[in-house]
């Protein structure tokens, strides 16, 4: 018995340095980078930009693996179930927090992940058809209060982050509009320009060209403070105290991923986000580069899950 015990201790002791050495030389093979959205979309473009720079930083390929479906939940589930060895991670949007509020997921959205860091914050813009008799946010709120359910607010789908963003706005501004879900931003913007709907919350990437052309009118941004990309627009929180919605893109890995690897990735991401050409390309896509620590990213995820859970419950939002 003593001999077996001694052999076990010897095996454990010999395994420890080997494991430490393995972590120390990470990565020594390609890293799978799951993108839970279709190829060619904004999230995919951002992911490919960051993955290419991580490949340069570490001398190993960070290979994009598109796994769309269920608002990103399919890709998230794949990563949660992957080995926590630093060779699988995900580039995820803020829909992750919305999904946690809407669906009964096959994983714990907080405990089953190892947050790495933010890539960028993406403000939404509150835009209206020019026929809406509201020159500014104050006028719009007064109009919506005076005529409950007279305005139609579109979204790229029930339960999407823009839908919940609009719902939170109604709850906090004491307004009521009719929600009209679409299958994506494109059809919603088309109907907004045509006047079939009057209101839409969407990113500057898809709205700004139409606002600049006079086809739409931008009234405000959803972020806590004014956005550098839309400095002429007020933050909704200036008139609706406490209102703030940050669309975001970030990276996480399976829970249990060695802290040394998480730290290496976080530090590399911070260096990448300081590169002028990366900053320029992110801002062109509507994202403001926002490096942060893994702890700060974890807090953001938990905060958004709690916020959207309250909004979903108060709005009695159901997914068919």
CATH of the domain at 54: 3.40.190.150
Separation of alpha carbons 62 and 50, rounded Å: 9
Residues 72 and 36 sit within 8 Å (Cβ to Cβ): yes
Q: What are the tokens at 290?
A: 């926002």
Identify whether residues 135 and 86 lie together within a single domain. Answer: no
Residue 10 lies in a domain: no
Q: Look at residues 191, 218, 181, 183 and name the one whose alpha carbon lies nearest to residue 203.
A: 218
Band (pLDDT 50/70/90 cuts) for residue 17 is: very low
Q: 27 preceded by cis ω (within 30°)?
A: yes
DSSP-assigned states of every residue in 255-304: TT--HHHHHHHHHHHHHHTTSHHHHHHHHHTT-EE----HHHHHHHHHHH
Residue 296 lies in a domain: yes
Residue 21 lies in a domain: no
Tell me the backbone φ, ψ of residue 250, rounded to 5 degrees.
-150, 180
Q: At what angle do helices 259-272 and 2-24 cross, to 10 degrees?
A: 0
Choosing from 215, 245, 275, the residue where a domain stops is 245
Identify whether residues 253 and 239 lie together within a single domain. Answer: no
Residues 187-239 have pLDDT tens digits of 999 999 999 999 999 998 889 999 999 999 999 999 888 888 788 899 999 99
Burial (CB count <10 Å: 0-12, 13-18, 19+), residue 281: middle
Residues 86 and 255 sit within 8 Å (Cβ to Cβ): no
Identify whether residues 198 and 271 lie together within a single domain. Answer: no
Residue 186 lies in a domain: yes
Separation of alpha carbons 180 and 196, rounded Å: 10
Separation of alpha carbons 206 and 152, rounded Å: 19
Residue 202 lies in a domain: yes
DSSP-assigned states of every residue in 75-111: HHHHHHHS-SSSSEEEEEETHHHHHHHHS--SS-TTT
Residues 243-296 have pLDDT tens digits of 999 999 999 999 999 999 999 999 999 999 999 999 999 988 888 999 999 999
Q: What is the model's pTM?
A: 0.86
- Look up the domain containing 291 and give its range: 30-121+246-314
Identify whether residues 178 and 156 lie together within a single domain. Answer: yes
Identify whether residues 150 and 230 lie together within a single domain. Answer: yes
Identify whether residues 190 and 238 lie together within a single domain. Answer: yes
Band (pLDDT 50/70/90 cuts) for residue 23 is: low
| CATH classification at residue 138 | 3.40.190.10
Choosing from 220, 245, 270, the residue where a domain stops is 245
pLDDT at 298: 98
Identify whether residues 117 and 252 lie together within a single domain. Answer: yes
Q: Is the dihedral of CA 251, 255, 256, 259 positive or negative?
A: positive
Choosing from 245, 265, 283, the residue where a domain stops is 245
Q: Look at residues 289, 283, 247 and name the one whose alpha carbon lies nearest to residue 271.
A: 289
Residue 255 lies in a domain: yes
Residue 160 lies in a domain: yes
Identify whether residues 272 and 211 lie together within a single domain. Answer: no
Residues 109 and 317 sit within 8 Å (Cβ to Cβ): no
Q: Picking from 5-14, 23-32, 93-102, which range would have the lowest pLDDT averaged per residue?
A: 5-14
- Is pLDDT at 303 greater than 90 in this prediction? yes
Identify whether residues 84 and 135 lie together within a single domain. Answer: no
- Is pLDDT at 179 greater than 80 in this prediction? yes
Angle at 244 between CA 239 and CA 248, to 5 degrees: 150
pLDDT at 320: 67
Long-range contacts of 277-284 (CB under 8 A, 24+ apart): 278/49, 278/50, 278/53, 281/49, 282/46, 282/49, 282/119, 282/120, 283/228, 283/229
Residue 11 lies in a domain: no
Identify whether residues 178 and 273 lie together within a single domain. Answer: no
Residues 85-123 have pLDDT tens digits of 999 999 999 999 999 999 999 999 999 999 999 999 989
Give residues with Cβ within 8 angstroms of 110, minimum separation 6. 298, 301, 302, 305
pLDDT at 39: 86
Identify whether residues 102 and 180 lie together within a single domain. Answer: no
Number of domains the chain contains: 2
Q: Look at residues 320, 287, 283 and name the one whose alpha carbon lies nearest to residue 118.
A: 287
Neighbours of 23 (CB within 10 A): 15
Identify whether residues 250 and 205 lie together within a single domain. Answer: no
């Amino acid at each position: 018995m003593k001999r077996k015990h001694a052999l076990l201790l010897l095996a454990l002791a010999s395994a420890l340095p080997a494991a430490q050495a393995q972590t120390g030389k990470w990565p020594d093979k390609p890293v799978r980078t799951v993108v839970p959205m279709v190829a060619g979309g904004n999230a995919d473009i951002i992911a490919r930009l960051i993955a290419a720079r991580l490949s340069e930083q570490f001398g190993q390929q960070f290979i994009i693996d598109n796994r769309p479906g269920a608002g990103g939940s399919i890709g998230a589930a794949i990563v949660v179930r992957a080995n926590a060895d630093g060779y699988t991670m995900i580039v995820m949007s803020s829909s992750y927090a919305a999904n946690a509020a809407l669906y009964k997921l096959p994983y714990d959205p907080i405990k089953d992940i190892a947050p790495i860091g933010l890539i960028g914050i993406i403000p939404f813009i509150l835009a209206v058809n020019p026929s809406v008799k509201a020159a500014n946010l104050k006028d719009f709120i007064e109009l919506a209060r005076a005529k409950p359910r007279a305005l139609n607010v579109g979204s790229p789908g029930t339960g999407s982050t823009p839908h919940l963003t609009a719902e939170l706005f109604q709850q906090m501004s004491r307004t009521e509009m009719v929600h009209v879900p679409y299958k994506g931003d494109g059809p919603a913007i088309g109907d907004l320009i045509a006047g079939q709907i009057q209101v839409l919350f969407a990113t500057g990437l898809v709205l700004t060209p139409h606002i600049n052309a006079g086809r739409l009118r931008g009234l405000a941004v959803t972020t806590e403070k004014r956005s550098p990309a839309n400095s002429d627009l007020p933050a909704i929180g200036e008139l609706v105290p406490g209102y703030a919605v940050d669309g975001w893109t970030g990276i996480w890995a399976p829970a249990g991923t060695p802290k040394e690897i998480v730290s290496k990735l976080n530090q590399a991401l911070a260096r990448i986000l300081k590169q002028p050409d990366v900053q320029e390309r992110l801002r062109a896509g509507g994202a403001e580069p926002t490096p942060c620590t893994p702890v700060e990213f974890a807090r953001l995820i938990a905060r958004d899950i709690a916020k959207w859970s309250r909004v979903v419950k108060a709005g009695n939002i159901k997914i068919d």
